[in-house]
Structure 1
Amino acid sequence: MSFLHLVTIVVDEYDPAIEFFVDVLGFDLVEDSPSLTNDGRPKRWVVVRPPGGQTGILLAQADGPAQAAAVGNQAAGRVAFFLRVDDFDHAYERMVAAGVEFVTEPRTEPYGRVVVFLDVAGNRWDLLGPAGSG
């Protein structure tokens, strides 16, 4: 068996990123442990994951100018992440109430309902739901 275990999102700071993914998106905080950079400096190992999901997101605080430049632009302005939900309208309304920035209006496509939003770092995500919702 194989599966994608983790993907990394480079963020400005750990705590606002944890708050966004846990409190706003409803992800689980899987791990928040002290760690060290490759050259021995302290950092944190922070992993969040959607409930029931297998793939987690490693929230990596930018370390140096090259990583700081990648914050919010990990996919050169394209949608890089896709969050599928069972109840599109409920998730969308909850996210609007939490102040999530949406860059499109919800629409229906052949594959389902979709709207583009920005995460705490400024990366683009698709919120996806079944075609029949909404």
Structure 2
Amino acid sequence: MPFLGLVSIVVRDYDAAIAFYVDVLGFELLEDTRLDDSKRWVVVAPPGAQETAVLLAKAVTGEQEARVGDQTGGRVGWFLNTKAFDRDYTRMKAAGVMFEEAPRHEPYGTVAVFRDLYGNRWDLIQLSQTTAPETSDDAS
């Protein structure tokens, strides 16, 4: 069955992006391979992610540079799911993540919007039991 393997986020600097996603958000650095003098293949993912990861792609054209930090036109573009919202929200705030709002409770779960180091908007979200997909206990 096909699955979404990578999503790209255009960044200004590989090392600054790695530092934010790994040291601040707590992602794991899965790969950092130099492809040539200016291009690297950099992949990060939340701990334990099974399928989808993030490719940190350095902007190389003026058009790409103009999109850094606003890749979705101001909308939330990425959703970081958690099963321990309070723990992750507290850890992320302590690490310097800038949340736009206090956590709020919606019919679909608990959520708070934050921005990455370039200004892209993300949701930290814990889905409610009624909207969370069924998972097997032995799948993790």
TM-score, scaled relative to structure 1 = 0.90
Residue 69 of structure 1 aligns to a residue in which SS?
helix
Say if 2:47 is the partner of 1:51: yes
Conserved? CA contact 1:102–1:115, under 8 Å:
yes
Structure 1: 5+ residue stretches without partners: none
Residue 78 of structure 1, aligned match among 75, 80, 88: 75
2:29 counterpart letter in structure 1: L
- Asked if the contact 1:83/1:126 (under 8 Å) is kept, the reply is yes
Report the counterpart of residue 108 of structure 1 in structure 2: 105
Q: Percent identity?
A: 56
Q: Which amino acid aligns with 2:4?
A: L
Runs of 4+ in 1 over 3 A off after TM superposition: none
Aligned length: 128
Q: 2-side partners of 1:102 and 1:50: how far apart?
A: 18
Separation of aligned partners in 1, 2:79 and 2:64: 22
Correspondence 1:114-129 to 2 at 5 A = 114-129=111-126
Alignment of 1:1-134 (within 5 A): 1-36=1-36, 42-53=38-49, 54-131=51-128
Other structure's SS at 2:98 match = coil
Asked if structure 2 preserves the Cα contact closer than 8 Å seen for 1:11 and 1:61, the reply is yes
SS across alignment from 2:39: strand
Gaps of 5+ in 2: 130-140
Aligned CA RMSD, in angstroms, stands at 1.3
SS in 1 for 2:35: strand
What is the CA–CA distance in structure 2 between the aligned matches of 1:64 and 1:100, rounded to whole Å?
28
